[in-house]
């Protein structure tokens, strides 16, 4: 696997690169997905379990809205934070998930910025909040881009270990211990990529109480990544962080988007919902970076947002079946450990007993790709060096074959 980018100044063929890129890692998921796709293009029978992309199509309403937008020539620049009607719709959706807050101080369109996917919204947030030397508190395992974004901002990722024995969730005591004078922000992700863990309202409230009562925590921001909000199938329903702690409204940035919940990955529609000061800062950043996102995609999102949950129930049920199928097959070997995910569409499985002496999960993933022809993502970039991440966002026949290949390989 590739290491960090070349050391600035070390390249013999040109001027030095920016120091801020030193130590920033390439996305392992994107790299392995590209490698698996390249092998398939060569005619190699590879089962690809790397991509965080639903295999469903975008809603018909979104498709029709784009066609209509093209016909009506809605392809010009829009306001940098997005068209007003989409921002209003996002504010309404967010308030439906935060009824406790809605009764106090509801969001409006002025609190919303439409971004190039949820990843862009997170980047905006971290760049707006973090100064060099600040600490970003990150429960671990984590989505692999959080620490890299923090480092680009000059901040320091500080990990809070959430082991399998805790259901991959941090405790209030751990959060309290992680707080310190340099802590500037905490990122939360539920349902979680890569573990599928879902925080309950009670668990979120307990974390919020720490932020409200611990001396010195008054200036800590919370970035709540809720991109998998619709995809839950366990005993714990989705809870937006601000629904559990509405009194933290002025310290929380909620991030969401259409990529996972509506299978609109390539449309690149995400957003942030935040208090006025944070929104102004992020809008200043976006205005000098991308300006508005694709205008046509905004009209697609406007059409997809009001669709009822029933329109997506079959997708969620399909993910549940696929999860259960994977666990049934992988359970045939006694060499893998897991905590049953209650959301998203990933398995984060412990493979420490499958590693050869001195071997990393990178090496095991490479062996599985080359010898079993199954592409998975090593857990190390997610904070789990003894783990692999498997995505079950592919059709069931291929998913079954991929899991069976993994079991056959590990058993052999």
Asked if 377 contacts 187 with a C-beta cutoff of 8 angstroms, the reply is no
pLDDT score at 253: 98
Q: How many helices (H) and strands (E) does the chain have?
A: 14, 12
> 63-88: per-residue pLDDT in tens?
999 999 999 999 999 999 999 999 99
Same domain, 227 and 268: yes
Distances (CA, A) of 326 to 18, 29, 314, 350, 387: 44, 20, 18, 14, 16
Residue 197 falls inside a structural domain = yes
Helices (H), 50-182: 60-71, 84-97, 99-102, 117-129, 145-152, 172-178
Same domain, 179 and 226: yes
pLDDT score at 307: 96
Asked if 341 contacts 168 with a C-beta cutoff of 8 angstroms, the reply is no
Distances (CA, A) of 376 to 39, 162, 260, 368: 14, 22, 19, 8
Same domain, 315 and 281: no
Same domain, 233 and 295: yes
Same domain, 345 and 279: no
Same domain, 299 and 261: yes
pLDDT score at 25: 76
Residue 6 falls inside a structural domain = no
**Residue that is last in its domain, among 259, 285, 307:** 307
**Residue that is last in its domain, among 307, 328, 360:** 307
Residue 162: which domain range? 76-307
pLDDT score at 315: 95
Same domain, 157 and 276: yes
d(CA 357, CA 353): 10
Residue 182 falls inside a structural domain = yes
pLDDT score at 148: 96
What CATH code is carried by the domain that includes residue 396?
Answer: 3.90.1150.10
d(CA 348, CA 338): 7
Q: Which two tokens stand for residue 74?
A: 């809605």
Residue 116 falls inside a structural domain = yes
Same domain, 250 and 381: no
Same domain, 134 and 217: yes
pLDDT score at 12: 55
> 355-385: per-residue pLDDT in tens?
999 999 999 999 999 999 999 999 999 999 9
Residue 110 falls inside a structural domain = yes
pLDDT score at 1: 43
Residue 3 falls inside a structural domain = no
What CATH code is carried by the domain that includes residue 254?
Answer: 3.40.640.10
Q: How many CA atoms lie within 13 A of 169 on its CB side?
A: 20
Report the run of H or E that residue 52 belongs to, with start and end: none
Same domain, 142 and 271: yes
Give the CA dihedral 3, 8, 9, 14, nearest 10 degrees.
Answer: 90
**Residue that is last in its domain, among 261, 286, 307:** 307
Place of tokens 């975008």: 58
| The pairing of beta strand 221-225 with beta strand 156-161 | unpaired
Residue 252 falls inside a structural domain = yes
d(CA 140, CA 384): 8
Same domain, 264 and 346: no
The pTM of the whole model exceeds 0.85: yes
Residue 65 falls inside a structural domain = no
How many domains does one find in the chain?
Answer: 2
- For residue 279, the SS3 value is helix
pLDDT score at 7: 47
Residues of the chain with pLDDT under 50: 1-10
Same domain, 124 and 227: yes
């Amino acid at each position: 696997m590739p290491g960090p980018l070349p050391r600035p100044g070390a390249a013999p063929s040109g001027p030095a690169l920016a120091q801020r890129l030193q130590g920033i890692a390439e996305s392992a998921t994107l790299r392995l997905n590209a490698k698996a796709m390249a092998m398939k293009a060569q005619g190699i029978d590879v089962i690809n379990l790397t991509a965080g992309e639903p295999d469903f199509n975008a809603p018909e309403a979104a498709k029709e809205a784009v066609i209509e937008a093209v016909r009506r020539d809605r392809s010009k620049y829009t306001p940098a934070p997005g068209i007003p009607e989409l921002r209003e719709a996002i504010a309404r959706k967010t308030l439906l998930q935060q009824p406790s807050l809605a009764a106090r101080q509801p969001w409006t369109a002025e609190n919303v910025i439409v971004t190039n996917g949820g990843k862009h919204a997170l980047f905006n947030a971290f760049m707006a909040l973090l100064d060099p030397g600040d600490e970003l508190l990150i429960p671990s395992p984590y989505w692999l881009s959080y620490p890299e974004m923090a480092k680009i901002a000059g901040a320091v990722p500080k990990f809070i270990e959430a082991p399998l024995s805790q259901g991959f969730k941090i405790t209030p005591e751990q959060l309290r211990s992680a707080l310190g004078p340099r802590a500037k922000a905490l990122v939360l992700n539920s349902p979680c990529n890569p573990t599928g863990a879902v925080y309950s309202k009670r668990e979120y409230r307990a974390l919020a109480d720490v932020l409200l009562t611990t001396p010195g925590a008054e200036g800590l921001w919370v970035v709540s990544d809720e991109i998998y909000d619709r995809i839950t199938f366990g005993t714990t329903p989705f809870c937006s962080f601000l629904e559990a702690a509405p009194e933290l409204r002025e310290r929380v940035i909620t991030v969401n988007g259409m990529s996972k919940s509506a299978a609109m990955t390539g449309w690149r529609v995400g957003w942030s919902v935040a208090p006025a000061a944070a929104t102004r800062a992020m809008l200043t950043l976006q205005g000098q970076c991308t300006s508005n996102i694709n205008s046509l995609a905004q009209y697609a999102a406007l059409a997809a947002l009001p669709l009822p949950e029933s329109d997506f129930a079959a997708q969620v049920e399909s993910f549940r079946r696929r999860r259960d199928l994977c666990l049934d097959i992988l359970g045939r070997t006694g060499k893998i450990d897991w905590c049953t995910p209650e959301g998203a569409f990933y398995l984060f499985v412990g493979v420490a007993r499958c590693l050869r002496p001195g071997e990393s999960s990178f090496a095991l993933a490479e062996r599985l790709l080359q010898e079993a022809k199954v592409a998975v993502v090593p857990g190390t970039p997610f904070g789990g060096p003894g783990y692999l991440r498997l995505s079950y966002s592919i059709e069931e026949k291929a998913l079954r074959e991929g899991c069976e290949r993994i079991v056959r390989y590990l058993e052999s």
